Amino acid sequence: MAPVQECFISAPGKCILHGEHAVVHGKVALAVSLNLRTYLRLQVTSTAEVSISLPNIDTFLSWDVSVLKPLLSHCKGECRSSTELDTELVRKLREFTAIADGSTDTRSMAVLAFLYTYLCVFAHSEWSEQELELINNWAFQGEKIIHGNPSGVDNAVGTWGGFLRYHAGKITPLSRVPTLRILLTNTKKYHAVPNSSFPKVKDRINQYPSVMAPVLESVDAVSQICERTLAEMATEGASAKHYSTLEDLIDINQHHLNVMGVSHTSLNTLCQVTLTHGLHSKLTGAGGGGCAITLLTPETGESVVRGVVEELKQVGFDCWEAVSAPGVLMHSPTSLTHSVLDILTKY
């Protein structure tokens, strides 16, 4: 019997370094991929079934391919481009999976995004040479389903990895960058649904345009100084002064995000806790709760990190230590750590 064909793929975690919210208003944003990877094991089966096992969110589902294929019937092929979301297919998939229009829980969104991507990739008979472009575009469609109005930064940084600059719809990788150590913390607290913070920022800008326009300007400058500093660190070697600048920028931006109204008491608590250990933090992404990043420097000893993490866990937060990392990767099974391989082959 021939061995079951399989492959291992991973994509990095990511965080927004600077520019969340401001990016929506034409300002520069910086994103970086982290070595907190999501691994995927693709396995050819002998049955006519498509199965997904997402143990993290306790989701294990199977469908017969013959049931899935007709869902593409409305489309002659041309509508299944990789840059435009096929909303008719999304509608059909919601009907098929009985996921109601308003429901945005993690499992429903994961299943919808998976089925959409599976069906459209499946419908494509050929792959272009620009596989990363394709992966990025498919990931973007997933983002559209899950997020609604994505900037495109998240899928891009997951695909290409490293540091990305985002400005006025254009995503550019930074060519010369250092490796950053980052403590990623999930406060698990939210004002409301994370995406609902977007209209709030717009409201505040409309309410106080003369106050908010300069704040966005300042965030733009923060992103640009950060970009310059990262380039200097890569070319000249990282110095304490560089890290001090990165820390200043983090503090400044966190206050700006507070002014935009997208912080949360839990995030401000986090900033205070890390500051008592000499570390600087800011929210990352949509805000209104959720995740924060804390910059770790070469001077940050392991005992300091342990102390901070312990204190943050006591408040009820989850922490992961991470470094900036490459984008989507194909792995040989032997290159994976045992713990990752164990989980991937368990289901």
List contacts with its own copies (CB under 8 A). Answer: 207-208, 210-212, 214-215, 217-218, 221-222, 224-225, 248-249, 251-252, 255-256, 258-259, 265, 268, 272
Q: Which is nearer to its own copies, 36 or 221 (CB)?
A: 221
Q: Which is nearer to its own copies, 35 or 258 (CB)?
A: 258
Q: Which positions ≥6 away from 105 have C-beta within 8 Å?
A: none
Q: Which is nearer to its own copies, 15 or 250 (CB)?
A: 250
What residues does 329 pair with on adjacent strands?
10
Cβ 104 to its own copies, closest distance in Å?
29
Cβ 210 to its own copies, closest distance in Å?
4
Q: Which is nearer to its own copies, 106 or 265 (CB)?
A: 265
Pairing of the two strands 59-64 and 289-296: unpaired
What does the alpha-carbon distance between residue 249 and residue 291 come to, in Å, rounded to a whole number? Answer: 18
Cβ 107 to its own copies, closest distance in Å?
35
Cβ 288 to its own copies, closest distance in Å?
15
Q: Which is nearer to its own copies, 251 or 311 (CB)?
A: 251
Q: How buried is 284 (Cβ within 10 angstroms: 0-12 exposed, 13-18 middle, 19+ buried)?
A: buried
Q: Which is nearer to its own copies, 144 or 256 (CB)?
A: 256
Cβ 247 to its own copies, closest distance in Å?
12
What is the number of alpha carbons within 13 Å of residue 195 lying toward its C-beta? 11
Q: Which is nearer to its own copies, 18 or 41 (CB)?
A: 18
What does the alpha-carbon distance between residue 37 and residue 18 come to, in Å, rounded to a whole number? Answer: 21
Q: Which is nearer to its own copies, 186 or 218 (CB)?
A: 218
What does the alpha-carbon distance between residue 46 and residue 94 come to, in Å, rounded to a whole number? Answer: 28
> Using an 8 Å Cβ cutoff, are 129 and 146 in contact?
no
Q: Which is nearer to its own copies, 6 or 203 (CB)?
A: 203
Q: Is the backbone of residue 278 left (phi > 0), alpha (psi -120 to 50) or beta? A: left
Cβ 202 to its own copies, closest distance in Å?
15
The string of DSSP codes covering 217-263 is HHHHHHHHHHHHHHHHHHHH---HHHHHHHHHHHHHHHHHHHHTT--
Residue 1: alpha-carbon gap to chain centroid:
41
Cβ 339 to its own copies, closest distance in Å?
40
Q: Is the backbone of residue 137 left (phi > 0), alpha (psi -120 to 50) or beta? A: alpha
Q: Is the backbone of residue 215 left (phi > 0), alpha (psi -120 to 50) or beta? A: alpha
Cβ 209 to its own copies, closest distance in Å?
8
What is the number of alpha carbons within 13 Å of residue 316 lying toward its C-beta? 7
CA angle 47, 51, 56 (to 5 degrees): 150
Residue at 123: amino acid letter = A
Cβ 344 to its own copies, closest distance in Å?
44
